[in-house]
Structure 1
């Protein structure tokens, strides 16, 4: 059984991450799906988080973080993304293999070690997937963005972020030479076809909902 503190951190991080790249608060069913838990389990935990004043939630409504919940979530997100960056930069992990490792280590390392990793890496602003790494004060910076699936044909943008939820998709995109920082032109949406570095490639169907580019 996972320690209670780790379970709380997982919930807060998931709620926070849901609204980073789109505006709508997470619903209980979405939260259950993201955590791969039964809806009844999530309902009980959300009640506990609300009682602890970490989230705001009305029955049958969406879930949002309170100021305290957001502060705790950002601290977990910072640990997770710094660990991912450290594993890729220092430990020769590939970008499709770091998420699960970071899920474990984020609950275990001390603040002292985290600060040492941050200093060692030169205080990076983004993790290997393009997600912003909060600084020690919890601040992040991000350019205006559009989801690739919503970009019109002819749109030109730089890849800001690629979701790390599907390792196989990350490997497919790497084979297509599409990565964070790639410059893309959308040629068509159905199928999703882009031009990158003078090469035209058709991306997997799920790529449109997993890639964010500059607006």
Structure 2
């Protein structure tokens, strides 16, 4: 049975996301875990994607996007992130509320409406979480970064990106003043100074969800 376009898009997005902010390659088992699917189902789907020229994969090895797969993945991600930005700027959504809405809308709005949204927003380069919005040709601009959990003590950098995977963590970070564009200094394993203020303790897992400039 042929896979639906939205299913294909979800696989390509997940593969792209996995290596967007770190270098560990994605394997079928990792992909199955991230998608919440049985490994056997993922293996069959990866074979279909490879047959369509969207991914490269050898048995028991990592999965990588081909040029065609990357272009399709970045096209969907561009839609998703523009929609998230639109919902925050135009409709007053909080940054922890936009992901699920965008997941639905990215498959339904027309290219004409997307172009109108992009123009109205002034062609933004980043979404509310700091993720780069790919250009129409798939290119992405991103400055050197380091995961806060891996930053050396005393390292100071601007918050470039905050993971949107856990809405409750997003809210906790916002309450702590850790938002995209603010400056943080790593003062301990789970402690930072924000914009030169006093040291604050981070919520659990926060340091592994924040990327700062290198």
The question of a shared fold, defined as TM-score above 0.5 by the shorter chain, is answered with: yes
Per the alignment, residue 38 of structure 2 pairs with 38
Residue 108 in structure 1 maps to residue 127 in structure 2: no
Per the alignment, residue 29 of structure 2 pairs with 29
Per the alignment, residue 163 of structure 2 pairs with 163
Q: Distance in 2 between matches of 1:46 and 1:29?
A: 11
SS at match of 1:23: coil
* TM-score calculated relative to the size of structure 2: 0.96
Question: What does 1:1-215 correspond to in 2, within 5 Å?
Answer: 4-189=4-189, 192-197=190-195, 198-215=197-214
* TM-score calculated relative to the size of structure 1: 0.96
CA shift at 1:199, angstroms?
2.9
Consecutive unaligned residues in structure 2, runs of 5 or more:
none
CA shift at 1:205, angstroms?
2.4
Q: Deviations over 1:177-209 (max 9, x none)?
A: 1101110011011xx100013132111221111
Q: Deviations over 1:129-176 (max 9, x none)?
A: 000001122221111100001001100000000010010100110111
- Work out whether residues 71 and 137 of structure 2, in 8 Å CA contact, stay in contact via their aligned partners in 1: no
Report the number of matched residues.
Answer: 211
Could you list the structure 1 runs, at least 4 aligned residues long, displaced by more than 2 angstroms after superposition. none
Q: Deviations over 1:47-78 (max 9, x none)?
A: 11011110011111110001100110010010
SS at match of 2:94: coil
- Work out whether residues 70 and 138 of structure 2, in 8 Å CA contact, stay in contact via their aligned partners in 1: no
Q: Distance in 1 between matches of 2:150 and 2:183?
A: 17
Q: Deviations over 1:80-116 (max 9, x none)?
A: 0000000100111100010111111111111111100
Q: Distance in 2 between matches of 1:140 and 1:4?
A: 27
